[in-house]
């Protein structure tokens, strides 16, 4: 079909409004990309229909309903909500090293520290003096190993002493 004919406002109005063809159907008929048809509809101020099934004929809607009945494995959760137990299980299976975005020891120090603060919201008082103002001390001195058994809660004074006693400068990882 001639490209100039498709650029005709009357032609597009006839196909899109009167015959209720979609942009995709007009594109197939004319051999012109869907996006181009869409652009010309806008250019000619032809009112666009809402997307979705609102403009479908009853026959098209029934065909879709039948297809959905014949293929229950697709969209089987549509309109349903997960139980609390399932949501908790889904959350647990996506945490830390089970998450595809988990970087483990490759995480930046800043992000590792932020993540650790989220995990350890309930801070214990200093293990030595009981001071409530505490910092995390990594027993193995690896700031990326945030296993709870590797974390010791120390006040700033005892944390600094622990690092100095271990031969690590006080400004290493605080």
pLDDT digits (tens, 9 = 90+) for 58-113: 888 888 888 888 887 776 666 677 888 988 888 888 777 777 677 665 666 666 66
User: Is 67 a member of any domain?
Assistant: no
Question: How many independent structural domains does the chain possess?
Answer: 2
User: Is 136 a member of any domain?
Assistant: yes
Q: Which residues of 94-130 are buried (b: 16+ CB within 10 A; e: fewer)?
A: eeeeeeeeeeeeebeeeebeeebeeeeeeeeebeeee
pLDDT digits (tens, 9 = 90+) for 59-69: 888 888 888 88
Please tell me whether residue 136 adopts helix, strand or coil conformation: strand
User: Is 16 a member of any domain?
Assistant: yes
Domain extent, residue 8, equals: 3-43
């Amino acid at each position: 079909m001639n490209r100039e004919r498709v650029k005709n406002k009357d032609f597009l109005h006839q196909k899109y409004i009167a015959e209720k063809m979609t942009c995709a159907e007009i594109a197939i008929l004319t051999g012109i990309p869907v996006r181009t048809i869409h652009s010309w509809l806008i250019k000619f101020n032809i009112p666009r229909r809402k997307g979705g099934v609102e403009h479908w004929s009853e026959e098209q809607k029934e065909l879709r309903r039948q297809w959905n009945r014949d293929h229950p494995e697709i969209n089987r959760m549509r309109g349903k909500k997960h139980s609390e137990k399932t949501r908790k299980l889904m959350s647990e299976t996506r945490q830390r090293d089970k998450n595809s975005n988990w970087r483990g020891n490759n995480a930046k120090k800043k992000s590792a520290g932020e993540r650790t603060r989220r995990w350890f919201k309930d801070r214990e008082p200093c293990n030595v003096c009981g001071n409530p103002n505490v910092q995390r001390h990594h027993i193995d001195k690896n700031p990326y190993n945030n296993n709870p058994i590797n974390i010791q809660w120390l006040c700033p004074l005892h944390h600094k002493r622990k690092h100095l006693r271990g031969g690590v400068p006080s400004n290493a990882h605080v």
